[in-house]
Amino acid sequence: MDHSTVFVGVDYATAFVQVCVLDIRGRQLANGRCSNDWRSIADFVARHGRHVRASIEACSGAADLAEELLSEADWSIDLAHPGYVARMKANPDKTDFSDARMLADLVRVGYLPRVWLAPQSIRELRRLVRYRQDLVKRRTALKLRIRALLRDHRIKPPEGVNPWTRVWWAWVAALDLPEHSRWIIDRSIEDLIDVSRRVEAATAHLEKATADDRFVEEMLAMSGIGLVTACAIRAEVGDPARFKTGRQLARFCGLSPQNASSGERQADAGLISACNHGFRAILIEAAHRLKRYDPRWARMASGLRARGKPGSVIAAAVANRWVRWLYHRLIEMRPAA
């Protein structure tokens, strides 16, 4: 039995995984399929070495398998960024065999583009936050459908009646609409009521799930920051120490401007697109509240407004600087190593 260090690449699939094992010189010791089970994978690799340094591409299900190999098989394993791995491959062909070999080789030479492996508690919180976000999107779509149907019939609410108030709902219920339109709007209202209840239930579950979280508690004490925003930051950011600077965190959140300069032309192209757009939207909404309720960010917004900056740019700038400031607050809260 060889007890030297081996380097392992795991190409993940739901039905099975492709596992490649390399030695320190890059010689392939094995490259074969295993069932999607940590024991089968660990037994396959154990024939060639006990000290394992491995990688698996980040995708749905990969984090759970990686955590099992980390805790149960005592492997050293990292998640790999699939986009960067594909660029580094420099080969149009794609097979499970070559992908596993590529991952193993990147671990061996130290060039693996790592992705943070969030603990199970954070992954569970992410699922809950994103579930609520999906419900909110459905609620918004239903509201848009109701408003669009009313516009199709060129129906306007009475003067001074705001949408979604009790008076507005009573007015909609009393409208004389054609048979099919009436049926559609009634069904849409039923769906809207149901989804709204689900949103409230998800919000209550979020509050319960983060009741003892110090990071969430700290953010809730800040002006303009509510439960949903605090939970989203906790779920998506996780451990703030995985970022080296506040600027790096802001870039991860998609709040940094994108440079589009070439030659003598110097220009910006808006915010970077490589991010979680739903999470960025939450932070932008938070920035709108911050510049209303927090004097520090209100002054910043006022200064940008005096320079002629539009509201969308002001909100993005405030969100960027606030996230960079928040990074240092969260780092201070981490327990000493």
pTM listed for this prediction? 0.86
pLDDT for res 267: 63
Write down the domain spans for the chain. 5-115, 122-205, 214-333
Please report the pLDDT score of residue 1 as a whole number: 42
Q: Exposure of 213 by Cβ count < 10 A (0-12 exposed, 13-18 middle, 19+ buried)?
A: middle
Q: Give mean pLDDT in consecutive 10-residue pieces for the chain, a chain of 337 residues.
A: 80 94 95 95 93 94 94 95 85 86 95 92 96 96 96 93 93 94 96 97 96 93 93 95 95 87 69 90 95 94 95 94 95 73
Q: Give the Cα separation of 69 and 7 in Å (integer).
A: 14
Predicted confidence (pLDDT) per residue in 28-38, tens digit = 999 999 999 99
Q: In CATH, which superfamily holds the domain spanning 5-115?
A: ATPase, nucleotide binding domain (3.30.420.40)
Task: Specify the pLDDT at position 333.
Answer: 83
Predicted pLDDT of residue 262: 66
pLDDT at 261: 67
